Amino acid sequence: MRDEADQDPVIRLRSIRTQFGSHVVHDGLDLDVYRGEILGVVGGSGTGKSVLLRSIAGLQRPTEGEIEVLGTDVRKASEAERAALERRWGVMFQDGALFSSLNVRENVEVPMRAVEGLDPDLRRAMADLKISMSGLPYLAGDKYPSELSGGMRKRAGLARALALDPEIVFLDEPTAGLDPIGAADFDTLIRRLSDTMGLTVFLVTHDLDTLHAICDRIAVLAEKKVLVTGTMDEMLKVDHPWVHDYFHGPRARAALAAKDAQKEG
Amino acid sequence: MPATVTTDQTDDGSVLRLGGAFALADLTGLHKALMRAAAAGPVTVDLTEVTRLDTAAAWAIAEAEKAAQSAGHALHLEGADEGAAALIDTVRAALPDPDTQTKPAFSLLHWLDGFGRSVAAGGVFLSQLLGILGVFIARLGRSVLHPSEFRLTSLVHHCQEVGLKAVPIVALMAFLIGVVLAFQGAAQLRQFGAEVFVVDLIAVSILRELGILLTAIIVAGRTASAFTAAIGSMKMREEIDAMRTLGIDPATALIVPRVLALLLMLPILGMIANATGLFGGALMSWIELGISPGLFVTRLVENTDVSHLMVGTIKAPFFAIVIGIVGCHAGLQVGNNAESLGRQTSAAVVTAIFSVIVIDALFSVFFAQVGI
Ligand SMILES: Nc1ncnc2c1ncn2[C@@H]1O[C@H](COP(=O)(O)OP(=O)(O)OP(=O)(O)O)[C@@H](O)[C@H]1O
Ligand SMILES: [Mg+2]
């Protein structure tokens, strides 16, 4: 998955500018995401990672710039084009954002209801399958979101994001607030789903272990734009002060050591 | 390219040729075709022409495989590329073992079980209400013994919220009830030439029943819901647990001032309702029947026994306690999601109004027996 450079990008951002009042969040931001890769987006708090994710997923409009997803210009698309596009991507929100009045299975069925000619029994079975593939017990579908732990809610949110077999998934801090074992499981899950379903993953994270474990490429958001992109090894060689501190800080060293230990063991 | 499924019959069973890009919309047809073939005999599934296999199609294949096995045939996969094979493996791994799946069947026993549970839940609900009443009384007693623990500021604040701010709506409601009573009473009594008895009609019905009952219903609607929402949102954000860890007793801080404020304010609101109700009645009698205010007051004072006022007023503290306890209890029942806050708030209003009416009915029976 390392030679995407000559492929067509599935997400193509050009000179994005986002502004809230006088507060400029992005200015002249460019980014390409290639098919089948897992791109990790990192950056300090408040640098606009979540805003960027929301802009690409069409939940928010940037002030200026071009956003092309799967060959469609998101900002100029008609309603019908947008609807077609939305079925080809899934978004997992930070706390799952499950509908609290529906149980987990019904939550996963929500996007499937728009599919015409799908038998209700088959829809249920597919929802159960997605729940099970997301690492929840097969019968967790009967539970309501309020009865789940934070980690289970995230998995259920992922199951819903995957309901229509999307080509791209957007994940906002998927491992935040999970215990280390749960976080590592989640990483493996994302990697496996990406490999078997050919998913392109746009992943916002602060978790250095995730970056080491599953990301094909990393994009660093700083100074209002994407400062550098590249593999983990390339990141370690960047000498921009913030990037250097980020990837060489005490936590980064610990994550690196853990990764090396895993390789040897 | 849209998905296609073609079935050929050969000597060694059927061959299903899949082609194109599969999506969820194609599942129903594919599932049917696969299941039919798997039930009939040996099947070969040819994936050579498939450009995109989705999880739904992979699931249908895995299910057909199981069905074929249990029918004693074999299902062969052909032409699956690496990605498709991996996906089918993942789906197979995610499917449950048949015996872990339990579906509760509906039966009479099931229904009885549910019925029993809801009866028991009703009992638990009543005992919890009693529990809160007990806590209220205990903490109130404690506050009398240790006045420094008492939260006067909080009490005054709640008196303002519960009492003062409810005065306009209560007064207006009672005034209109007085007007309506006078108007309707006049129409009936005029037929007998007994117009002047409209004064007794208004006085008895307002002082004895309507003034305090309607006030209590309005207060139940606006205050019980406010108590539930306030306490419930604190419960939801774990503020109540935080209080406990900081050594603050939630009952003293939250329940006592609220219920006490209601206990003090509801009788006063009832009095205001009585006054404006009588005023509305007098005004309408004057306009409609020509009963002068002087005559109204004279008849009111001479003919209306003070026991009517007593009967009305004695109910106020009972209503107040019930509304306050129901509101606080519902607030404490809120879970950690916004939905339960909404559900408890509306449940609190319904329960409070219903309880007020039940208590009023019990009092009516009681006073009728006692003969007041
Ligand atoms: N709707 C909004 N209105 C005004 N300002 C906003 C809005 N949404 C985001 N911002 C601002 O945009 C900036 C970027 O926010 P964003 O949530 O994208 O940060 P982030 O990079 O995701 O941070 P974190 O890592 O803490 O999640 C912040 O300074 C925030 O105050
Ligand atoms: Mg964020």
**Over the stretch B192-214, which tens digit does the pLDDT of each residue have?**
888 888 899 999 999 999 999 99
Which residues in chain B are closer than 8 Å to A164, comparing Cβ atoms? Answer: 24
Over the stretch B224-269, which tens digit does the pLDDT of each residue have? 999 999 999 999 888 888 888 887 888 888 999 999 999 999 999 9
Q: Which domain covers residue B134, as residue numbers? A: 126-370
* pLDDT of B115 above 80: yes
Minimal CA–CA distance to B84: which of B50, B118, B117, B109? B50
CB contact under 8 A, A100 and B59: no
Residue A3 pLDDT: 47
- Single out the residue in B41, B75, B94 at which a domain terminates: B94
Examine the domain organization and report whether B29 and B151 are in the same domain. no
Over the stretch A21-53, which tens digit does the pLDDT of each residue have? 889 999 989 999 999 899 999 988 889 998 999
Residue B118 falls inside a structural domain = no
Q: Which residue has the tokens 């070969």?
A: B44
Residue B107 falls inside a structural domain = no
For chain A, the first-to-last Cα distance in angstroms comes to 24
Residue B115 falls inside a structural domain = no
B100 and chain A: CB distance < 8 Å anywhere? yes
Please state the φ and ψ torsions of residue B74, each to the nearest 5 degrees. -120, 150
Over the stretch B124-174, which tens digit does the pLDDT of each residue have? 999 999 999 999 999 999 888 888 878 889 999 999 999 999 999 999 999
DSSP structural state of residue B8: E
Question: Which ligand 1 atom lies nearest to the CA of residue A54?
Answer: 18
Q: Are B332 and B239 in contact (CB under 8 A)?
A: no
For chain B, the first-to-last Cα distance in angstroms comes to 87
Examine the domain organization and report whether B67 and B136 are in the same domain. no
CB contact under 8 A, B27 and A101: no
Confidence at A1, pLDDT banded by 50, 70, 90: very low
**CA–CA min distance A175, chain B (Å):** 22
Residue A5 pLDDT: 47
Which residues in chain A are closer than 8 Å to B102, comparing Cβ atoms? Answer: 139
Examine the domain organization and report whether B70 and B163 are in the same domain. no
Residue B105 falls inside a structural domain = no
Helix (H) or strand (E) holding A65: strand A64-69
Examine the domain organization and report whether B85 and B171 are in the same domain. no
Residue B103 pLDDT: 58
Residue B109 falls inside a structural domain = no
A195 and chain B: CB distance < 8 Å anywhere? yes
* pLDDT of A139 above 80: no
Question: Which ligand 1 atom lies nearest to the CA of residue A52?
Answer: 18
Bridge partners for A214 per DSSP: none
Confidence at A2, pLDDT banded by 50, 70, 90: very low
Residue B270 pLDDT: 95
* pLDDT of B119 above 90: yes
SS3 B79: coil
* Nearest ligand for residue A26 CA: 1
Examine the domain organization and report whether B180 and B138 are in the same domain. yes
Examine the domain organization and report whether B276 and B155 are in the same domain. yes
Residue B150 falls inside a structural domain = yes
Nearest CB to B25 within list A118, A162, A192? A118
Mutate to test the pocket of ligand 1, among A24, A47, A170 (most ligand atoms within 8 A of CB): A47
How many structural domains compose chain B? 2
User: Which residues, at least 6 apart from B28, have a Cβ–Cβ distance to it below 8 Å?
Assistant: A117, A118, A119, A122
Confidence at B118, pLDDT banded by 50, 70, 90: very high
pTM score, whole prediction: 0.68
Output the average pLDDT for chain B.
Answer: 89
Q: What is the CATH number of the domain that holds B32?
A: 3.30.750.24
Examine the domain organization and report whether B202 and B54 are in the same domain. no
Residue B329 falls inside a structural domain = yes
* Nearest ligand for residue A221 CA: 1
Please count the CA atoms within 13 angstroms of the CA of A73 that sit on its side-chain side. Answer: 6
Query: Rounded to the nearest whole angstrom, what is the distance from the C-alpha of residue A162 to the centroid of ligand 1?
Result: 26
Q: Which residue has the tokens 């995610």?
A: B94
Q: What is the interface pTM, i.e. ipTM, of the complex?
A: 0.80
Phi-psi region of B276 (alpha: psi -120 to 50; beta: other; left: phi over 0): alpha
Residue B112 falls inside a structural domain = no
- Single out the residue in B40, B74, B94 at which a domain terminates: B94
CB of A45 sitting under 6 A from ligand 1: yes
- Single out the residue in B46, B72, B94 at which a domain terminates: B94
Examine the domain organization and report whether B191 and B315 are in the same domain. yes
* pLDDT of B92 above 50: yes
State mean pLDDT over B100-114.
75
Residue B66 pLDDT: 86
State mean pLDDT over B291-303.
89
Phi-psi region of B363 (alpha: psi -120 to 50; beta: other; left: phi over 0): alpha
Examine the domain organization and report whether B71 and B157 are in the same domain. no
Q: Among residues of chain A, what percentage have pLDDT more than 90?
A: 17
Residue of A nearest to B31 (CA): A122
DSSP structural state of residue B106: P
Q: Whose CA is nearest to atom 29 of ligand 1?
A: A46
Query: Rounded to the nearest whole angstrom, what is the distance from the C-alpha of residue A20 to the centroid of ligand 1?
Result: 9
SS3 A78: coil
Examine the domain organization and report whether B65 and B141 are in the same domain. no
